[in-house]
Amino acid sequence: MKSTLDVIQAPIAAEMEEFERKFRASMQTNVLLLDKIMGYIVKRKGKQIRPMFVFFTAKISGGDPLPEATFRGAALIELLHTATLVHDDVVDESNYRRGFFSINALWKNKIAVLVGDYLLSRGMALALENDDFALLKIVNNAVRELSEGELLQIEKARRLDITEDIYFDIIRQKTASLIASCCAVGAASAGSDKETIERARLFGEKVGMAFQIKDDLFDFGTDEIGKPVGIDIKEKKMTLPLIYALQQADWLTKRRVIFNVKNNEGRRDRVQAVIDFVKKSGGLDYAITVMKRYRDEALSILHSFPESPSRTSLEQLINYTIEREK
């Protein structure tokens, strides 16, 4: 039986297979250790949602059949994004990524940092060798925003003074900028005008905002959403359900909850107390409402493009991102 993603992917199934071959080839090197690590990275790839956004957006923007630039654009995003993940695992001292050992866990920090640097340079070389300056500019902006978003979140986590506006800034930079760049790259690679590229970028940004709010909801857990894990609370990350709940609380309750976040030290009882507070204060319902608003705004932009099988699949992909259970 085909998975939901397989069904969504159907209009670009051949292109995804072609991309897989080309991406594997772009990762090959003459350095034995590096080649081994590149092979490991390719083998543990995720759901391939980013290339799907690139290809679908290229198709709805008039790139059918897909030009070579679209495949290069998707590869560029995967290379630069993978580089940031490898570096993130070093910074976070994380030993796992999507259920696999991280590069730093298997080959230590020094090699992981160098591998991340190699991936960055490989992505830039791919774009420069083919004069894909417009695509490189789009992706470079996303990587810059991603870094700024991470640093803003670290700065705010020290004081736990994040407002809704700052939260939206952080997730727009950390998550939405990447999906926005996928869609902008898709439209640009198909030779679209500036207005269409910007429309595609804004569409991706709205999807990315909804995607990250969904991710934040996993931390609190309900029967519909998944198992409560409290990882964000343990890491002192202020997400939308918690920010909203604190806005509704009296001074004494707010002080107690912030104390539990700031001094949780991984203690299950303190983390659970925060989760219970958010649920009782309507934080989850509020976050779900905001997430659906971003989804509806994304769909509104999507419907300004001509009807096609790729547009239908993009609509299904949006719903998949906010209905997923992991």
For 153-177, write each residue's pLDDT tens digit: 888 777 777 889 999 999 999 889 9
Closest CA to 203 of 230, 184, 185: 184
* Residue 286, pLDDT above cutoff 60: yes
Question: Which pLDDT does position 225 carry in this prediction?
Answer: 42
Is 56 a residue whose pLDDT tops 90?
yes
Residue 296 has pLDDT above 50, yes or no: yes
pLDDT at residue 37 is higher than 70: yes
Cβ–Cβ under 8 Å, residues 226 and 325: yes
**3-state per-residue secondary structure call for 228-265:** CCCHHHHCCCCCHHHHHHHHHCCHHHHHHHHHHHHCCC
**315-325 pLDDT, tens digit each:** 999 998 888 76
Coil, helix or strand for 151? helix
Give the C-alpha distances (Å, rounded to integers) separating 171 from 206, 226, 325: 11, 21, 20
Checking if the pLDDT of 16 tops 70, the result is yes
> What's the rounded Cα separation, in Å, for the pair 174 and 179?
10
Grade residue 55 by pLDDT with cuts at 50, 70 and 90.
very high
Nearby residues of 162 by Cβ (< 8 Å), 6 or more positions away: 156, 170, 238, 243
Q: Are 180 and 205 in contact (CB under 8 A)?
A: yes
* E strand or H helix that includes residue 122: helix 103-129
Lowest mean pLDDT among 10-24, 51-65, 110-124, 132-146: 110-124
pLDDT at 224 over 50: no
Contact yes or no for 155/253 (Cβ under 8 A): no
Residue 228 confidence (pLDDT): 47
- Gap between the Cα atoms of 33 and 191, Å rounded: 39
In this prediction, residue 7 carries a pLDDT of 87
Rounded-to-integer distance, Cα 61 and Cα 43, Å: 31
What the block records as the tokens of 298 is 């994304």
